[in-house]
Structure 1
Amino acid sequence: MLKDIFGIKEKRRAVPRPVKETKSKTVPTQRFNDLIEYYTAELKSRLAEIDALKAENEMLVKTSLKTAARSDELRLHLQKLQEDTRILQQRLQEKRK
């Protein structure tokens, strides 16, 4: 009766699992060691690939920076030459007058 008044419900019990699911399956030691060696080698090869990609990426970034710096230098030189050309054309026009 108190359970009805206070809304207390009985706790549900977990559904028992079959015995096959609860028993842990053992793996032979040799197979386990082979799996560990395989995955270790796989991880090492992937780390090597990542290192190679990092080096390639770093080289591309450095090359890109050098190219951008050279491009900026050439752009400034071009602006200077254009300004010189404009000044010389002005002088030429003044002399023709």
Structure 2
Amino acid sequence: MNWFDYIKEHLFILIVGFIIGIMFLLKGYEKTEINNKKQLVRYVIHGVLISMFITWLGFEIFHYLGLPYKLCVALGGGCAYLGTDYFTTILEKFIQKKIG
């Protein structure tokens, strides 16, 4: 595999993670109390970046197990969609604990 294929595959994984992050934001926006733009920006960044990370992490785990590429992307995206809410609440608690 040359470097172009490697970059193309991982860019596709990040795009899938970004789309799942947007879906997560749309799903949880009504439940979240956002009072100003700073909180909105933080909510968007956390949701999208965590979704992208979980998608990539799930892809790498399933790829290591030897599953086909498309299945690995789909399973990584599914893990991100189901797990982003959990990781976001943990990250929010950690940040609130550090800030005070």
Higher helix content, 1 or 2: 2
**Structure possessing the higher radius of gyration over alpha carbons:** 1
Q: Tell me, yes or no, whether TM beats 0.5.
A: no
